[in-house]
Amino acid sequence: MISTGAMSQLAEPAFFKTKTYDFGEVVETGGNVDYDFVFTNLSTRPFRIVSVNPSCGCTTPGWTKEPIAAGGTGFIKVSFDPRGKPGYFSKTLTVTTDADKNPVILTIKGNVVDKKSADAELTVAMGSLRLKSNSFALGKVFLNKPAIVQEYKIQNGGTSELQIKRVQTPAHIQVDFPKTLKPAEAGLLQLKYDAAQLGKYGFRTDQIELVTNEADSVKRIAVYATVEEFFPTLSAADFQKAPVLIASSYALDFGRVRAGTKSELLVQLQNKGKQPLLIREVQPNCTCLTVLLDKKNIAPNETVTLKILFVTEGRAGTQNKSITVYANDPRNPVQRITLSGFIEQ
């Protein structure tokens, strides 16, 4: 059975690369923040945006008014006013077109903070070193795009000069840093993350070590990133030819099994497109799962079997696991298959 979620996403004439945007921290007195949701017309005829209805008056929408030609692009612009709205927010926009009776739901979210809170952000202490967090979250990074660079503010919170002697990193991460910081002096730590050099997909955790002149000289900072493949906006004709990954099921139930047994589940992966489908990686979220795939290069209309082995030894009760499939399907390059069941002792 093909999941209705996957089918509806493929059927939408207005294809959005993303339907959710996180503004992160927004300063309450810093003015409006804006974002453009860009979409492509995947249908064979022009259509127009009929209406965009926000869930809150604090969200002002704008959009492409003229008809969008087949293969053309348009936008939905959202402007959020944070004044008088401290704390976490999540707002939606309901987009209706004359090509589809089903509306598209777009979401913006973030956290509104006051300026004082934003300025007093270096609250994590590692000896004299002050940071906003003991981890750096990069979000999505792409294997086929240039390395990304992020800057992080650091400060010497001690009474003596702080020297950063060296920084130890994995090969795909480079760090530029101030060699010395006087008491109360702030500086920028610049982190460069090269996903192409890493060459792996999915959620990744790394660690960098700053070695200073203090007694507790080693400061360890975690680096989180989700590595994916970037797909540029395609024309309607190119989308019609592109590979399409469809799984026979996106939710598997292995039922009730006794601890110590091995459960085997099978999923059929089919290429419904007109070009070869390349499975980049199949990534379980647990060492208890082993995946075996017939082949990773799937011809148009070909189906291959994904075998999933679940080792239940040492586990008990309700289980919820997942497997993420990364492929060159430009519509749905990242697809998740969930597994659930109950292990009896």
Cα separation, 331 vs 243, whole angstroms: 9
pLDDT confidence of residue 9: 40
Taking 70 as the threshold, does the pLDDT of residue 3 lie above it? no
pLDDT confidence of residue 62: 85
Q: What is the pLDDT of residues 209-252, one digit of tens each?
A: 999 999 989 999 999 999 999 988 777 778 788 899 999 988 88
CB contact at 8 A, 320 and 286: no
Report the pLDDT averaged over residues 156-172: 95
Query: Taking the CB of residue 250, how many other CB atoms lie within 10 A of it?
Result: 19
R_g of the chain computed on alpha carbons: 24
Taking 70 as the threshold, does the pLDDT of residue 49 lie above it? yes
Average pLDDT, the chain: 88
pLDDT confidence of residue 1: 35
Instruction: Report helix, strand or coil for 323.
Output: strand
pLDDT confidence of residue 4: 37
pLDDT confidence of residue 120: 60
Which residue reads 């000896």 in tokens? Answer: 127
pLDDT confidence of residue 331: 82
Q: Give Cα separations from 136 to 160, 166, 212, 225 (angstroms).
A: 26, 18, 19, 9
CATH architecture of the region 4-113? Sandwich (2.60)
Report the pLDDT averaged over residues 29-38: 87
Yes or no: domain 236-344 corresponds to CATH 3.40.50.300: no
Handedness of CA 24, 27, 30, 32 (dihedral sign): positive
Per CATH, the number for 121-228 is 2.60.40.10
Q: Report residue 149 as tokens.
A: 């660079």
> Which sequence spans correspond to the domains of the chain?
4-113, 121-228, 236-344
Cα separation, 175 vs 210, whole angstroms: 10
% of residues, the chain, pLDDT over 90: 48
Which residue did the predictor score with more confidence, 233 or 297? 297
Taking 90 as the threshold, does the pLDDT of residue 154 lie above it? yes
Which residue did the predictor score with more confidence, 30 or 305? 305
Report the pLDDT averaged over residues 104-111: 91
Q: Which of 12-16, 234-238, 261-265 has the lowest mean pLDDT?
A: 234-238
pLDDT confidence of residue 116: 62
% of residues, the chain, pLDDT over 70: 95
